[in-house]
Homo-oligomer: A and B are copies of this chain.
């Protein structure tokens, strides 16, 4: 991200501080050096991350008239712990080795087991510990959210949104596993996954949380902004994610090239590829997609098919259309100008990013 990073940068230092303070509060429980490794792993993981969800929450709060409020930064930052939990569990489920350019959490603990010469399966130890680390971040995210210090009336208004977000997140991740297993590649199913997995959880819910925390209600304009801006940006965000999962530069994404192809992810990019593929192109997709041993040549072959069928261009066009619609909806919203400018920049940043 470049010029449009400003609304993220403004939030980053506040979020970082809030995370540091929260982890410091947990430190006494981790005095035992045996369990201290869990806290250290959480700290290392949380040092990375784009702070995108906290930024949508922050600018939602501002859009609904919220002022400069440290408690809001804490509440918003809790979304970064939730995202860390989801990624750590995701990597276990997908058997991904690399995250943010570093070994994934289960690989980190697997290596600890191997280097210590311990008993039993290092792989099982790594995965089990990563599940527990993800659980820890999940419950901490809830604790941090609840103890932010925001007014009880604000929390009471936003809590149902937060509760639904968590249930939807687990359902969205399950739908993702399911589509992969079923090998479904319809536009409808791909869009449903994009909306549930990311559209709601990554953009719409964080934005709505910020709006509702400040407004302490959900008037029609908030709901409209959440659906017409939030969900549209969210889907475009996920479509960008899908493209980066195939065409992204590992130096920027922190993940191996073509990782999504190896995992056989059923994205809109794949649905559009198959819809427009010639018999030989369709055969290449069937043969190569989801092959855990897919090499650089296979990745390149699939990339070529995806480009030649026009699927890449079609998805880029979709992103542009969702973004335009979102920006149009943003124009109509009765919010203050600085928040409008920031949310516009954030929408661009979230959907044109390279990382």
Interface positions of A (Cβ within 8 A of B): 26, 29-30, 32, 34-35, 38, 89, 92-95, 113, 116, 118-120, 124-125, 127-129, 131-136, 138-140, 142-143, 146-147, 152, 159, 163-164, 166-168, 170-171, 173-175, 177-178, 180-183, 264, 290
Contact = CB atoms under 8 A, between A and B. Distances in A.
Contacts of A119: 180-183, 264, 290
Contacts of A113: 181
B124 A95 contact: yes
Nearest to A30: B171
A272 B34 CA distance: 22
B29 A125 contact: no
Nearest to A35: B171
A293 B45 CA distance: 36
Given A171-B29, A174-B129, A142 B140 contact: no
A38 B118 contact: no
B177 A128 contact: yes
Contacts of A164: 29
Given A92-B131, A136-B170, 16 more contacts: A26-B167, A29-B171, A34-B178, A35-B171, A35-B174, A35-B175, A93-B127, A95-B124, A113-B181, A116-B182, A119-B183, A120-B264, A132-B174, A134-B135, A136-B171, A139-B163
Contact of A170 (B135, B143, B264, B290): B135
A125 B183 CA distance: 13
> Is the contact region of chain A dominated by helix, strand, or loop, or is it mixed?
helix
A33 to B, nearest CB: 11
Nearest to A189: B34
A139 B136 contact: no
A181 to B, nearest CB: 4
Closest 9 CB pairs of A and B: A93-B128, A118-B181, A139-B166, A136-B170, A35-B171, A119-B183, A143-B163, A132-B170, A132-B174
A182 B167 CA distance: 36
Contact of A89 (B131, B142, B146): B131
7 contacts: A94-B128, A116-B181, A116-B182, A119-B180, A120-B180, A139-B166, A142-B142
A142 B167 CA distance: 12
Contacts of A171: 29-30, 32, 35, 38, 136
Nearest to A125: B181
Contacts of A142: 139, 142
Contacts of A167: 26, 29, 136, 139-140
Contacts of A127: 93
A125 B290 CA distance: 13
Nearest to A128: B93
Given A124-B93, A135-B138, A139-B170, A129 B177 contact: yes
Contacts of A124: 93, 95
Contacts of A175: 34-35
Q: Which of A26, A139, A147, A159 gathers the greatest number of chain B CB atoms within 10 Å?
A: A139
A53 to B, nearest CB: 16
Contacts of A94: 128
